[in-house]
Amino acid sequence: MNGIASRFDFKDIQEKVSLHLRPWHRSFQFWVRAADIYTGYKVFQVRVSFVKDVQKQHAMWERQHELAADKIYAMCSDLGGFFLKVAQIIGKPDLAPAAWVKKLVTLCDQAPATPFDGVQRVLEKELGQSISGIFEKFDVNPLGSASIAQVHRARLRGDKNDVVVKVQHPGIQELMMTDIRNLQAFALYMQKTDIKFDLYSVTKEMETQIGYEFDFLREANAMERIHRFLYENNRKSPVLVPRVVQNLASRRVLVMEYIDGIPILKLGDEMAKRGINPGGKMAAAAKHQVALLDYGQVKDLPDQLRLGYANLVLAIADNDPVKAMESYRELGIGTVSNCGNEQQELLRLAQTMFDTKLPPGVAMLQPFSEDSSIKKIAVESFPEELFSILRTVHLLRGLSVGLGINFSCAEQWRPIAEEALYNAGRLKGANRKSRVRKPSSFRRFFWRN
């Protein structure tokens, strides 16, 4: 008996030591891989500078991007956790080199799934009942698995409609917090050496925003608020919002209405299959609706920030460098210029960061390029709360570029921005370029929350 007890004690000690060392091991893995990728680019920059032929330079860059893409993919795939989020953020056609995008796009929603016994433990602990007591049927294989949670299709007892059960991966919060702190340290180094942008503030807001995603009760509340508003203020809701099963929601479990549809990453292929031209008439798609399923990062904007951003939207839409500079100051974006045409570069930087339509001649953002606005205009301070806007615009731009749509969100949002500023007494009626007879409920909601 003593021998058996000793073996059990030893196993328990092993598990505790493993959990304690896990963050250190992840940190070591990150820094070794990040240093390898970074130094690879720095050495390559020196090597390519000796090549005078432009076409040969281009071919060399493509090869370097392919080598780096393999390493970045391996790091994000092996470490998982927060690095799957990173892959989703940078793996967009307008931001990263084509070789990166081609590799990283395959990581979206392909996080390793938690085995069913782990899912069962989380569910029963959070809901206080057995799975069989709650559900008539429960698909063991998940519909999909992302960095924070996975979703299963199920059916409640006594109901004829299917539901989706969102279950948080065990231990994922501690894991992702370790990852993001490593990224913050790397961001501090990068902004002091290569990228003259306040990356640290961006990563701090990422930490805050991702922290929200671990609270499914907060997400359920956001879903209910948006669902209620859309359905109360529209004859027909512009988007579908799943209903939450109120008595089956906790911090780590969320049960909601099942909505069948096409994932947005497969939208381009599906549109091509049906002969729909995204740049032309959309009559063929008029019968379909958009469903928004993930509300983990819903955020209310403070008045000062939303009005400052409204002013920046007008500056971008009007192509006004003076107004853009004023908006930077109002938003608290601190910049230092090392170029002659500061106002034009500030406008170009604003268009690049906060509009879905890239500036003329820009195919993608290249922070290491000597011609990039970030090289000419150093962003020394960037308000953390602006990151939520920046990421939203970036996601929209990645989608529009991927679908081949020449789309400017600033031009589309001009009436909303004018209305917000007009209602705040900061814009006279004579200066409004857009004529809106009556504020829509969407505009009222967007600019008051």
Q: Which helix (H) or strand (E) holds 406?
A: none
* 393 CB burial (10 A radius; 0-12, 13-18, 19+): middle
Query: Alpha helix (H) ranges present in 80-215?
Result: 82-90, 98-104, 116-127, 131-134, 172-193, 199-213
Cβ atoms < 10 Å from Cβ of 110: 15
Q: How far apart are CA 294 and CA 220, in angstroms?
A: 10
Give 241-297 pLDDT, tens digit per residue.
999 998 899 999 999 999 988 877 677 777 778 777 665 554 444 456 788 888 887
HSE on the CB side for 423, CA within 13 Å? Answer: 17
HSE on the CB side for 376, CA within 13 Å? Answer: 17
Average pLDDT over residues 67-78: 90
Q: What is the pLDDT of residue 103?
A: 82
Average pLDDT over residues 193-212: 78
The mean-pLDDT minimum among 37-41, 183-187, 231-235, 363-367 falls in 363-367
Q: Which residues face 357 on adjacent strands?
A: none
At residue 110, the 3 state secondary structure works out as strand
Average pLDDT over residues 119-148: 92
Question: Does pTM top 0.75 for this prediction?
Answer: no
Terminal CA-to-CA distance of the chain, rounded, Å? 64
Amino acid at 338: N
DSSP character at residue 164: E
Beta strands at 290-291 and 239-240: parallel, antiparallel or unpaired = parallel
